[in-house]
Amino acid sequence: MTLSKTVQNITIGLIAIGTAFAGFTAAIPQASALETISDLESGDLVRGESFTAVYYYGADGFRYVFPNDRTYFTWYDDFDGVKWISDSDMGSIQIGGNVTYKAGSKMIKINSDPKTYAVDKGGVLRHVGSESVATSLYGSAWNTMIDDVPDGFFTNYSIGDAIEDADDYNTEDAAASVDDINDDKGLVAPEEIVITDDGYEPIDVTIDIGQGVRFINNSSDKHNATADDLSWGTGTLQTGDDYIAVFDEVGTYPFFDGYDSSNTGAVYVE
């Protein structure tokens, strides 16, 4: 019997603990004082005052959603160290996407696809081709090591090479290949362009594909950064506001200030 057919016979009760949410909630004792955004460091876990979902604060300046508790507990054992920030500060941090299962932690599947997958670095899924391979990798109780991922979150993953033999994959090596969520997702700090009363400083930056640029308005008036071809923009930035724009393709991206067209700049993506 193939692993795919075997999995179909596993009861829903084994794999349906903790259904998916748009950020699962957790009962965490409130901190004695709220942190500010300037207090946050890359890799922190954060939650708001009334927004009870826990997020990962990435090196790129975005917050990342844990779709459910099962995803969270592949990365963390508890909620120690979760920082509380105000709801307004939380709302000002852009959402970057969803966290995927930690590599090497468990196998996953979805209801509409009988295949079972091991998780590799970067949310890459590798089809476990047979029950014998699953037993070699996860032991005789391999069927308790499967979590069901709602179809809507399956698109957070990508499909890699199948595991046809136990030598094709090692759970310990997979887990050791990932230091943290920043490493898993390849998150890096954005370059910064500050908007002053005299214009953009600097007027241009050079970044890698997938890196962001944080536009910070430190002037005494509202401003923005808008693509020359209007394909992207920060929207209106009041004094003190910031916005991160991410660029996923090589090219030159000129921009201007919609509130003062004499202010121009460019992003170069290599």
Per residue of the chain (270 residues), give pLDDT as tens: 344 433 433 322 322 333 334 567 666 766 668 999 999 999 999 999 998 899 999 999 999 999 999 999 999 999 999 999 999 999 999 999 999 999 999 999 998 888 999 999 999 999 999 999 999 999 999 999 999 999 999 999 999 999 999 999 999 999 999 999 999 999 999 999 999 999 999 999 999 999 999 999 999 999 999 999 999 999 999 999 999 999 999 999 999 999 999 999 999 999
Q: Measured between alpha carbons, how far is 225 from 243 in angstroms, rounded to an integer?
A: 9
- Select from 3.20.20.70, 3.10.20.30, 2.60.40.420, 3.40.50.10800 the CATH code of 191-269: 2.60.40.420
Identify the H or E element spanning 117.
strand 113-120
Tokens 């394909």, residue? 231
Q: Measured between alpha carbons, how far is 58 from 247 in angstroms, rounded to an integer?
A: 17
Q: Does domain 3-15+102-185 have CATH number 1.10.287?
A: no
Nearest to 246 by CA among 60, 99, 92: 60
Q: Measured between alpha carbons, how far is 258 from 239 in angstroms, rounded to an integer?
A: 15
Q: Measured between alpha carbons, how far is 193 from 223 in angstroms, rounded to an integer?
A: 13
Identify the H or E element spanning 261.
strand 260-269
Provide the β-strand partners of residue 80: none
| This prediction's pTM | 0.86
| Domain range list for the chain | 3-15+102-185, 37-98, 191-269
Within 10 A of 124 (CB to CB), how many other CB atoms are there?
17
- Using DSSP's 3-state secondary structure scheme, residue 202 falls into coil
Identify the H or E element spanning 95.
strand 95-98
Q: Measured between alpha carbons, how far is 29 from 166 in angstroms, rounded to an integer?
A: 43
Identify the H or E element spanning 88.
helix 87-92
